[in-house]
C-alpha cells in the first residue's frame, strides 16, 4: 500500500474536477478524499497500490474536459490512514 498527497493547480474548480476524480479513483480501487482549497486548487489524499495511484496522477494531469491543469505537486507518504472509501470533502 502507498499513499500520496496531491495539490493540483490551474482551472480546476467549477469544472467537475472533484466528482471526476472520485469516479476515477473508485474505478481504480483507491481510497481517500478530494476537496477544493480556498486558494483555488484541488487537494486529494489517496491510498492504494502505487501503480494505481500513478494512474490517477496521470489522469489528474488532464482532468475532466473543462479543466486546465497547470501543475501537480505530489508528496508520497509512508503512514496509512486506512480510508474505507473515496469521498468528496467540503
pLDDT in tens, 27-86: 999 999 999 999 999 999 999 999 999 999 999 999 999 999 999 999 999 888 999 999
pLDDT (0 to 100) of residue 59 = 98
Burial 51-73 (b: 16+ CB within 10 A, else e): ebbebbbebbeebbeebebeebe
Tens of pLDDT along 17-29?
999 999 999 999 9
User: Is 71 among the residues known to form the active site?
Assistant: no
User: Which is the catalytic residue, given 11, 35, 36, 85?
Assistant: 36
Residue 35 among the catalytic residues: no
* 12 band by pLDDT with thresholds 50, 70 and 90: very high
- Return the bridge partners of 88, or none: 34
Task: Output the pLDDT for position 79.
Answer: 87
Tell me which of 11, 18, 85, 89 is the catalytic residue: 18
Amino acid at each position: 500500500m502507498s499513499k500520496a498527497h496531491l495539490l493540483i493547480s490551474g482551472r480546476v474548480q467549477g469544472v467537475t474536477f472533484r466528482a471526476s476524480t472520485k469516479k476515477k479513483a473508485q474505478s481504480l480501487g483507491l481510497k481517500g478524499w478530494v476537496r477544493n482549497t480556498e486558494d483555488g486548487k484541488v487537494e486529494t489524499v489517496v491510498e492504494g497500490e502505487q501503480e494505481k495511484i500513478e494512474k490517477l496522477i496521470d489522469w489528474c494531469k488532464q482532468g475532466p474536459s473543462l479543466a486546465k491543469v497547470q501543475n501537480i505537486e505530489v508528496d508520497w507518504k509512508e503512514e496509512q490512514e486506512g480510508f474505507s472509501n473515496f469521498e468528496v470533502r467540503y
